[in-house]
Amino acid sequence: MKHTKKLLATMLMLSLLLAVFASCGAPSNVSSDIVNIGVTDTLPSVNPLLLDASEIAKTVSDLQFLPLCELNDKMEFVGMLADSITTEDHINFTVHINENAVWSDGTPVTSRDLLFSVLRYASPVIGNTSMLLYAFEGFDENTGFVTEGATVEDLTGVVALDDKTVRFTARSEMPLASFQNTYGRYIHVIPAHVLEDVPEAELAGYAWFDAPTVVCGPYRIVDYDRDHYISFVANERYYLGAPRIPKLNIKIVEASQQYAGLRSGEIDFVQQTMGNIPNEDYVGVEALEGVRVRYGAPVTNQSVFIQTANLPDVRVRQAILCGIDRTALLDGLLYGSGEIVDGFLSSVSPYYSDALVPVTRDVARAKALIAEAVADGFDADEPIDFYVNSGDAVFVNGASLIVSQLAEIGLTVELHTVDFSTLMATAGTMDYDLLAVQYTYSPVDPYPDVAWLLSGEGSWTSYADDELNAALAHSLTSDDASIIREDYLTINTIVQRDVPMFSAYIIKAMGAVSTRLKNAEPCVYGSFINVHEWEIVTE
């Protein structure tokens, strides 16, 4: 169980996709045979060995070096490089690589490639801390690394059973969904026969990854500028079928440019979590001829974390929750495109229960709670420090409304709008009372996030509860969704009661696609699973 408390800490970027970047500079703005994907996320690196959990970095890796599996738009795991991932005891997980999978030079993809990839992900020289391999036997329990200079023969917890089958052995029980979501979706397989002779110390900055010559995915990079664009060409040997579109561009633009790009035809496709379309542009985008919109599943939570070490009186935290009009926030900021929940799970999760009714605004109750706390020594005149990402213009406005609503119940809140890096640095301290950030709790595997955030001292909340921890532990003992749903109902009920965090709202973001594209559908999960089947409709 030790490893699971750390899973979220190294995967924060799954849900912290908030920044916007420089104006687009991609080559070929409008072309009859090139598809342009508009994104507003940063590009940390195109090297899969440096993969963090940001959506754009994962997508770039997915297109070239397949993950073992992926989630589709129905929240189902489907095979990508692997055709099956199974377990009988929730300790040993058997991965079978598709028999037809080949590299673009015709070499079969084998267990050797998967073991080599895992070995490099675990390299202390490369130093990727996001892969969480400490969950498995044979890796350092704290870092997830192997000993410098280790070989595949040293991977006692990841073993090849034959040329196409690999067994992963965990230190403790793990649900199959956790293995699939945390490892199956994030371990990208790189070609051992091309890279095994490259010294470890050179791999992190290896220029080959900027334009790889051998891939197993549907596309490969031929040119990129980390602030502006990534250009791909099709892998004609892709084992699921040669892509029907020869060239793709990912164009990194400011959020305000998405509407103009869709209108001019310079952008063909906007996925909900990588390509923020500002809410104020929704009506305009919906009215565009030649563009079809799709609102994504509600998965991005505008979370507000409360540092309970600084606000230890539960009555004050309860007053904060019932002093805010979250429906007004949702309607005023997102035009109703989202939902209100208590706890961590949105309605799209298989573990969501509508038996827990969200708290609504009750000014009288909030004032009474504050009065009780003041009578017992709480200083209502001491400012409560509230930190918000300055790059999230929508919620900056929402935070101002929250400040005024909390003033009505007798609380003084001081709003601090800081850049994203500063916000994350602040989150690692206890120098805040409230801290808001967009956060995606995996609908199919919420355990790592919840376990870390509610793990007591050192977490973003400094909150822990024995009954809650028991429910979390019990959720790991079954793959039965109905049992896990009851566990999370218990967890979310306790969170609603003790308020170590709350959800301001869940965002249901807009995606968009040009009608000149066939078989392309913007989804929160699974948008690019069938990218090889995308087609350009010609007149």
23: pLDDT strictly greater than 50: no
**pLDDT at position 499:** 98
- Strand order of the β-sheet with 34-39 is 219-225, 229-234, 247-252, 34-39, 269-270, 510-514, 291-295
**pLDDT at position 28:** 40
**pLDDT at position 31:** 61
17-21, 125-129, 406-410 — which is least confidently predicted? 17-21
Residues β-bridged to residue 165: 96, 162
pLDDT in tens, 274-299: 888 988 899 999 999 999 999 998 98
CATH class of 300-507: alpha beta
Q: End-to-end CA distance of the chain, in Å?
A: 58
Residues contacting 427, CB < 8 A, separation 6+: 305, 435, 437, 460
pLDDT in tens, 161-194: 999 999 999 999 888 999 999 999 999 999 999 9
Q: List the structure tokens of 78.
A: 């489907």
pLDDT in tens, 461-509: 999 999 999 999 999 888 889 999 999 999 999 999 999 999 999 999 9
Mean pLDDT (whole number) for 324-345: 95
The band of 3, judged by pLDDT with boundaries at 50, 70 and 90, is very low
Share of the chain above pLDDT 90, in %: 80
**pLDDT at position 14:** 36
250: pLDDT strictly greater than 60: yes
SS3 501: strand
pTM summary value: 0.81
Mean pLDDT (whole number) for 9-25: 35
Report the C-alpha gap between 47 and 206 in whole angstroms. 8
Mean pLDDT is highest, among 14-23, 124-133, 461-470, for 461-470
**Do β-strands 413-418 and 384-389 pair in parallel, antiparallel, or remain unpaired?**
parallel
Instruction: Give the Cβ contact number of residue 21 at 10 Å.
Output: 17
**314/335: higher pLDDT:** 314
The band of 76, judged by pLDDT with boundaries at 50, 70 and 90, is very high
**pLDDT at position 255:** 87
Share of the chain above pLDDT 70, in %: 94
404: pLDDT strictly greater than 70: yes
**pLDDT at position 30:** 56
CA atoms within 13 Å, Cβ hemisphere of 8: 21
